[in-house]
Amino acid sequence: MVPKVWWWILAGVFVVIVAVGAVRIVGSTEPAQSTESAEASAPAGPIIDPAAVGDVERASWTFLVYMIGDTDLEPYALDDIAEMASVGSTDDVNVVALVDRSPDYSTDPAVDLADWEDTVALRVEQDHLEVIGVPGELNMGDPQTLADFVVAATASFPADNYGLVLWDHGAGWPGVGPDETDGYDVLELAEMDEALAVGLEQAGVDKLDLLGFDACLMSTYEVASVMASHADYMVASQELEPGHGWNYEELALLADDPAATAADLGSAFLRGYAEQAEEWGTGADITLSLLDLAQVTGVQDAVAQLAGVYEANPDGLGPTLARAQTDVLEFGRNPDPELATNQIDLGGYVENLAEGGGPEVAAAAAAVTGALDALVMDETAGPATDSASGLSIYFPEIEDYFSQDYAALTDVPAWPSALSAFFESGDRLADEVRARFETGDDATEVVFDDAGVAFTAFLPPASAAALVEATVSAGYRDGDDIVYVAQMPAALTVEADQAAVSAQYDLTFLNLRSGDEEIAVYQDVTTDPETGYRTIDVPLQYVAAGDDEYQDALISIIVDDEGTILEEDFYLVDEESGTYGAMTPDPDARIYPVALVLVDDEEWEYQRTDDDGIPADLPSIEYLLEDLEPGTTLVLDADVQDYGQSADTVSVEVEIP
């Protein structure tokens, strides 16, 4: 990704040059941008035109929305703008938005404003959008654009309190975006940091009162650590957000009471989000947190203390850190580990550490829990995410999944170095503790019963000490190939003389039916430890109408503890940026479920389970659990992996009676 404006960062020195209508960020010795980049991003006019605004009295609140709507989320952007306009600005509250639209996804008007394809600045009035700036096509993934918007909007609409929401796809610490028509550029965490630092300084604003991320996966230790210097409070989600996102009708709180605090407004957004999700039928796995960023230092100190305890004895405590990941909620999951975000619930993780670690580890973990309780002022969650604590942290299970970009993060204390030490200690694991199953005739046990089949695989107790993952996969023979239809977590039990992983499989597979077309799909199953609600993730390829190229996609199905399907959500994955976004697919597009296939007993591949696919018309799709036929050759695999990247698999083939 090549941004339109290059930021040159040398020895941490930045020079601020004040230009008309903008603040320019340049490095100490290099130009801010090349001539080519400057010409490509030159705006048609200022972001906000002073003549269009006039003289504005100081208000109680100015609420800013930085809407990167130049994506497949554009239709939802129009809905959110309409929600803002249902309230609108008042004498005491300014609602100001910078909105970039796409030429591809919608031609509908926004409230009373006809379609546009570039970027416009708006003062949102009740049932009316007032255009206050026509800067032309801006790269919303360029930090310069964000800095300029903050400067222009705060200068044009002075207020006692400022709120800012960044709106688009999100990925956690990798950032927010992309802007599709500007090279799929993403606002990375470091870019948001510098844009807000320079923009707020030039605006003469110490901090934002409220910073929000109406984007997936942004309530993380890393994001909160960096944003703490720019805002008093932050609202963000640990999990993927439904397409409708926040409910901006909650701005009525400010219209009714301009003296409302940032914490009041944040809690209102949480309530509105949950209520809207319930109305839309998307509330089963939501999360949204209100964070008091003044408490971030306490969390950082506690995490640093925990990391220090570990780094003093990485080889001895590595297995403890590894085991504590078991049964912790993971957000932005994907059956393909290359597409997973590797973000886990921080609260659940340190709770496991406190229960399973020695006294020193337990004390450090308890300190994180206490600091986290102070940080998370308010939260909402669905039944499938009920155990979410309000804040996630990056923790890949093995080094192969670790992004080197993470090691380069600044202002994220302790954890990057702790992860490095964790993976280094994994390389030094002794042979006797590496993941491996027993061998021989008694290495596995298969029992068919009325509930399906129970599969158990045994391993030496020592080799269970450093496990980070244990799963059971089920499939069937199709000629020389094995087609896998489900993967589920395996329970680990450890006794003095033997350890085992086990799972129950109900001998069903999931079909999707649309009209007369029906196809089998692959299920990756996780379970909320608090409620027992299951999330079934189905990997897909999404092909737009008239196109041959596919995008990676995911249907996420929420099932309650009685087996009733509560919700289905559809997400697209942007491989380049790593961001996720819910969307309503084009019913004329087609979806092709994919499954893991072991080809010729040698190579694993994700392959389409059907060459024809089915229409991506979600309301018309039925989800059918079918029984595997008696006589089918059932393949059951148990897989274990330790944090030193050793893995082992034991497989059995049995005929279903």
Give the CATH number, domain containing residue 151.
Answer: 3.40.50.11970
Q: State the burial class of residue 338 (Cβ atoms within 10 Å of its Cβ: 0-12, 13-18, 19+).
A: exposed
First to last CA, the chain: 55
- H or E segment and range at residue 368: helix 359-375
| Max CA separation in the chain (angstroms) | 85
Return the SS3 of 194. helix
Domain match, 585 and 552 both: yes
Angle at 554 between CA 566 and CA 478, to 5 degrees: 100
pLDDT of residue 403: 92
The reported pLDDT for the residue numbered 603 is 66
CA distance 284 to 528: 11
Helix (H) or strand (E) holding 135, with range, is: strand 128-136
**In this structure, are 196 and 104 located in the same domain?**
yes
Q: How many CA atoms lie within 13 A of 635 on its CB side?
A: 23
d(CA 295, CA 347): 15
Residue indicated by tokens 């942007």: 574
CB 559 within 8 A of CB 526: no
Across 246-298, the runs of DSSP E, i.e. the strands, are: 287-292
Domain membership flag for residue 252: no
Bridge-based pairing of strands 580-582 and 523-527 is unpaired
Per-residue confidence (pLDDT) for residue 53, from 0 to 100: 96
Task: Report the distance separating Cα 522 and Cα 444, nearest Å.
Answer: 24
Structure tokens at 520: 């089998």
How many Å apart are CA 537 and CA 554, to the nearest integer? 7
Phi, psi of 472 (to 5 degrees): -125, 130
Cα(54)–Cα(66) distance, rounded to whole angstroms?
22
* Look-up of token digits 């597409």: 339
Q: What is the DSSP string of 408-449?
A: T-SS--SHHHHHHHHHHHHHT--GGGS-----STTSEEEEEE
Q: Which of 178, 205, 232 is the last residue of a domain?
A: 205
Q: What is the DSSP letter of 479?
A: T
Nearest to 228 by CA among 7, 412, 436: 412
Distance of alpha carbon 472 from the chain centroid: 25
Mark whether 362 and 480 lie in a shared domain: no
495 and 408 in one domain? no
What was the pLDDT predicted at 11? 27
Residue reference for tokens 């491989």: 575
Q: Which domain holds residue 365?
A: 297-430
414 and 479 in a single domain? The answer is: no
Calculate the dihedral angle through the C-alpha atoms of 238, 239, 242, 246, rounding to the nearest 10 degrees: -10
Residues in the chain, how many? 657
**What per-residue string of b and e applies to 541-571 under the rule 16 or more CB within 10 Å gives b?**
bbbbeeeeebbbbbbbbbbbeeeeebbbbbb
The 10 Å Cβ neighbour count of residue 352 is 20
Assigned domain for 5 exists: no
Note whether 618 and 584 are within 8 A (CB): yes
Asked which of 205, 231, 253 is the last residue of a domain, the reply is 205
At position 392, the amino acid (one-letter code) is: S
Residue 482: which residues within 8 A CB-CB, separation 6 or more?
A: 475, 476, 597, 598, 601, 635
Domain count along the chain = 3
Residue 382 lies in a domain: yes
If one counts every other C-beta atom within 10 angstroms of the C-beta of residue 576, the result is: 10
Answer yes or no: is 262 within a domain: no
What does the alpha-carbon distance between residue 218 and residue 392 come to, in Å, rounded to a whole number?
A: 9
Please say whether the dihedral angle defined by the alpha carbons of residues 332, 333, 339 and 344, taken in this order, is positive or negative.
Answer: positive
Structure tokens of 56? 């504005």
| pLDDT mean values, one per 10 residues, the chain (657 residues) | 24 30 38 32 77 95 97 94 98 98 95 97 98 97 98 98 97 95 95 98 98 97 98 97 96 98 98 96 95 98 97 94 89 82 96 92 97 98 94 94 91 94 94 93 94 95 91 89 86 90 92 87 83 87 89 89 85 75 87 76 72 89 90 95 93 95
For every residue of 62-116, DSSP letters joined together read EEEEEEE-SSTTHHHHHHHHHHHHTT---SSEEEEEEEE--SSS----BTTB---
Has residue 261 been placed in a domain? no
Residues 163 and 118 in one domain: yes
Helix (H, G, I), strand (E, B) or coil at 324: coil
> What sign does the dihedral 67-68-72-74 (CA atoms) show?
positive
DSSP secondary structure code for residue 350 in this structure: H
CA dihedral 152, 155, 160, 165 (to 10 degrees): 0
Evaluate whether residue 477 is within a structural domain.
yes
The answer on 385 and 465 residing in a single domain is: no
CA distance 335 to 593: 12
Residues 122 and 195 occupy one common structural domain: yes
User: Rg for the chain (alpha carbons), in Å?
Assistant: 26
Q: Do 490 and 369 sit in the same domain of this protein?
A: no
Domain annotation covers residue 230:
no
pLDDT computed for residue 602 by the predictor:
61
Q: Report the b/e string of 416-451 with b at 16+ CB within 10 A.
A: bebbbbbbebbeebeeebbbbbbeeeeebeeeeeee
645 and 549 housed in the same domain: yes
The separation between CA 242 and the C-alpha centre of its own chain, rounded to angstroms, equals 11
* 454 and 481 housed in the same domain: yes
Structural domain ending residue among the three candidates 430, 452, 472? 430
Evaluate whether residue 214 is within a structural domain.
no
Backbone angles phi, psi at 109, to 5 degrees: -70, 160
Q: Are residues 470 and 602 in the same domain?
A: yes
